[in-house]
Amino acid sequence: MAWFAGTLRAWHLAVLRYAMTLDNADRLAVLRIAREIDRLYPRQEGSTELEFFRRTSVELCAAILQPNERAPAVLQQHLARLDDDRLKRAFAAVTGASQPAVSPVSRPARRHDLWKGAPSKLSDAPPSYCRADRNECREAPDRAASGAPSSRRWPRSWLSGSR
């Protein structure tokens, strides 16, 4: 399967190269790779139908070299088959075809109560200090002097940005 994926990518790149250069050698390279891919799937006995990749290559090369009324549809169909976004953008830019419309990604509904109960400012949070040797944090001593309990301990993972 890896061989097929690599050969398919080589075919896509060969089509892109032909679209850029319009050189006959590049067109022959596209057809050679298409024939190599189609060789994996033999035709039925007595069938005169061209194989898929060879037929598609001939249509693409003709649409690129001599655009006619059918060319935009052939190029759009090829663009729709491409999985790689960079390759799709490059092919669309070279051939002048418009890229297929991408449907916008819907975002999940916002949770307005997500931060409910959290301090609105960092300065409102209780000051604390952390001890790396015990992997715990305590309230700062000045907090204890004001009458707040000083024996409160929090695991380090609870405090973001703890030192």
pLDDT in tens, 147-160: 555 455 555 555 55
Q: Where are the alpha helices (DSSP H) in the chain?
A: 2-21, 24-38, 52-65, 71-81, 85-95, 141-145
Categorize the per-residue pLDDT at 144 as very low, low, confident or very high, splitting at 50, 70 and 90.
very low
pLDDT (mean) for 74-88: 92
pLDDT in tens, 117-135: 666 655 555 555 555 555 5
Task: Return the ∠ at Cα 82 (arms to 76 and 85), rounded to 5°.
Answer: 105
The domains of the chain are located at: 2-42+50-95, 122-158
Which pTM was predicted? 0.57
